[in-house]
Structure 1
């Protein structure tokens, strides 16, 4: 079944169901069913290789025992199917007994269903949807990998949903950073706000051609680590890794900022960190207390940046997407974070991205920061990636593609200073110059701001995000002033 017809068929079935409201719920409904189908295929393989294998899922709740339609008139449908799903399947999966000895490959079932729901109310339509999903043979390597395209389309569809767009980084951005970082088998890569797993799967796709032996396959299986706070993208990420033949996906359902950064030791650190931290949000005081006083910020992206610095191994490499506000921000916390970055790490490259890379979710400008833990920073290269010819904006129908990064890739290995008229397009700044600018990294920016016409809802969303970011910076400054004056909050 083609990508378009698979997703469209399921969406058309669910549009007739009164319990499913909007594309976001339709996608959530598709994903929990996909997870169980894919997991059942994995269990078939595990059973083949290990005759002592036992499933953590109760026998009657395994996909093969309730979902498969044998065309003998015995398969559950209508009210019987609905009653089974709502009163037996979901309750059973939510209370699976998991402890520290439970293998990750089994524990993920409970974690995946902790906050999952069945939205459908028509048992006949639900049977139709289950049958469509059951057509795909996930035990077949080629068919499973071909399905990755369908899954990628589902993730792209999420980007169009205002409430869910934050979960998806365009494939071109994760692939470009991965190609510049060059992960190698034997290294461990982490994303502490992994969303649907874009950076994790870009890493796996880059590593797969390196697999030559059984030992290499084991290294591949242990090569990525993620943390995701929200339940739905967590389920998407787990499913994504299963599709990429990771039998033991190490993705934690939790908040990366919950732990005091001073408590991290060597086993908590990684060779590679690549991520697109949430930005525009703010954190409560109890979270800020997990960071040294000078690094405490109201801006979520700032706290993630500090977390990254505390969790990068010696000689490790990092690629991080951050908003413009981080580059030009001069409040005490942002300045302290940037000062720590250039003094304790080698910030070697900043790639300025054109507007609307993350459209339609946000039009806030973003940047890619590349650094390693090899030495302190001596020079920083800045490179401005211009909008490709013929484009005024990126959009859902015309997203950024990896080929649009080709000018940056060509420049990366042959770095020269470039000018666009009187404006710098690429330039190297010494650390002395950056310090003299009070660690303002807003350099080699875009020379002219074209007026961007946004849809009303997008305009409101962007305004709220920008206002929140500004309020966070103001709050941070006020806290510092209150501390200096000895005034309690």
Structure 2
């Protein structure tokens, strides 16, 4: 499931128990407190990197601290005795968080950031553990979050669960975002899709000269070719909404740690009436790209759902309303990759059919990529698919791909395995061709829109797939009868034995 070593996992488990015994029992609060401390350490790491770069390039550096001896820096407070450390973190580090980025949206979430740890010994344990974690290496922060979030025993309220990073990466690659575009997620959780997009841009727009080696030998992508777009990336590109304040704090920290200084992250139920009132620009025709894995659970109170959504599809089901919402949020020609539960593809209710009809007839449905049902374990075992669509235009052919394996075992453990269809799915997607992709026995093929209409807009791949029949070999009948007679004799003799025992 992640690249953390057994030792690191057991360190996290131990720390988790210490939080528990220290009186902090809400798992999201534990994750949030650990995030704050990780954030404190990473701010220091970023500061040190900036100072080194400034020494090398002789350019001035505007840091987030007052110099190398600032007591609020991780390397300075981690040396202190327990009581003293607690006082510095509580009275200096947390107030510093609240002032970061001059009260922008990030400051908005940090306003109520509080150190909940009151036991000095618990803070020392947490600081020591976080100090040992490899959080400066590539994906390790993500691995850590993934492991922490897997400790939320349920899928969370509102069906929240984290999208695995390799699935996020695959979806970002399907859309191939450009640094000039504007990207939104109407149910952003910890901002996985926004962070995944930033990572993708950094890797794609780093020149060979811009690649640096990190302390542990990992490649650091500086994104030097993103310079002309820097202002847009920092201030206008990334937008996320969620109605869980803790998730939003984690999301803001996550984006800042990935180099987005001023992400536009807001507390908002995007299906409700207040979304277009509070955020008119984002609520309709605001985005070039929307990447999302919206919550599938539950139905809503119809009274609070914005009428533009229920006009299109009369339903209370969140998974249908979110697809309608995403269509509304996209600019004309804007594109989305969205995860939906399988029921959206073939559900036979009026609302299900109406939504698919809107996707196919009034917009351009580009692809339906079925994922295996273990992808979201251990949180949930639902079968899902990725819908790729563009707003407006018309559908001509739809690309279907049946992913059987995603590089991880499909049980609760999610251990790495060799089988992985995602690279092939991406390659086929990029080379899709309506004239050539016609083998319905293959994993991937194109289906003309006419055929989809004839099948009541059913989008499940099995409706269009040719099932391959393997010839089964049977023994000759005489041999089968002989085997049956032998079995019958054995049974008779066993029954005789049993009778003899009575």
Aligned mate of 1:69, from 61, 74, 77: 77
Q: Distance in 2 between matches of 1:394 and 1:407?
A: 22
Aligned to 1:218: 231
Q: Give 1:323 shift.
A: 0.4
Q: Distance in 1 between matches of 2:74 and 2:406?
A: 51
Aligned to 2:341: 323
Distance 1:273 1:120, change over 3 A: same
Report the aligned-residue RMSD. 4.0
Q: Give 1:84 shift.
A: 7.8
Aligned to 2:244: 230
Aligned mate of 2:145, from 154, 162, 173: 154
Matched, 1:130 2:127: yes
Within-5 A mapping of 1:2-151: 4=5, 8-9=10-11, 11-17=13-19, 18=21, 19-21=23-25, 26-39=30-43, 64=72, 68-69=76-77, 71=79, 75=80, 77-78=82-83, 106-112=104-110, 114=112, 118-133=115-130, 145-146=136-137, 148-151=139-142
Q: Deviation digits for residues 274-327 of structure 1, max 9, x if unmatched?
A: 111110222223332443434242211211111100111122111111001111
Q: Give 1:130 shift.
A: 2.8
The answer as to whether partners of 1:37 and 1:63 remain within 8 angstroms in 2 is no
> What is the number of residues matched between the two proteins?
422
Aligned to 1:175: 169
Q: Give 1:63 shift.
A: 7.0
Distance 1:307 1:269, change over 3 A: same
- Aligned to 1:381, the other structure's residue is in SS state strand
Matched, 1:188 2:182: yes
Matched, 1:434 2:452: yes
Q: Give 1:144 shift.
A: 7.0
Aligned mate of 1:239, from 253, 258, 266: 253
Q: Give 1:419 shift.
A: 3.8
Distance 1:426 1:11, change over 3 A: closer
Distance 1:44 1:388, change over 3 A: closer
Q: Distance in 2 between matches of 1:281 and 1:306?
A: 16
Q: Distance in 2 between matches of 1:184 and 1:29?
A: 34
The answer as to whether partners of 2:337 and 2:389 remain within 8 angstroms in 1 is yes
Q: Give 1:261 shift.
A: 7.4
The answer as to whether partners of 1:191 and 1:273 remain within 8 angstroms in 2 is yes
TM-score (norm 1): 0.72
TM-score (norm 2): 0.71
Matched, 1:385 2:382: no
Q: Give 1:106 shift.
A: 4.2
Aligned to 1:270: 287
Within-5 A mapping of 1:281-292: 281-290=298-307, 291-292=309-310
Deviates more, 1:174-183 or 1:397-406: 397-406
Q: Give 1:27 shift.
A: 2.9
Aligned to 1:471: none
Distance 1:34 1:301, change over 3 A: same
Distance 1:15 1:216, change over 3 A: same
Q: Distance in 2 between matches of 1:91 and 1:326?
A: 44
Q: Give 1:387 shift.
A: 3.5
Q: Give 1:344 shift.
A: 2.3
- Aligned to 2:289, the other structure's residue is in SS state strand
The answer as to whether partners of 1:187 and 1:272 remain within 8 angstroms in 2 is yes
Q: Deviation digits for residues 405-447 of structure 1, max 9, x if unmatched?
A: 1231232214413344xxx743433333323322222233699
Structure 2 spans left out of the alignment, 5+ residues: 206-222, 468-502
Distance 1:400 1:284, change over 3 A: farther
The answer as to whether partners of 2:370 and 2:384 remain within 8 angstroms in 1 is yes
Aligned mate of 2:198, from 204, 215, 222: 204
Deviates more, 1:359-368 or 1:280-289: 280-289
Structure 1 spans left out of the alignment, 5+ residues: 56-61, 137-142, 449-489
Larger Rg: 2
The answer as to whether partners of 2:369 and 2:403 remain within 8 angstroms in 1 is yes
The answer as to whether partners of 2:183 and 2:288 remain within 8 angstroms in 1 is yes
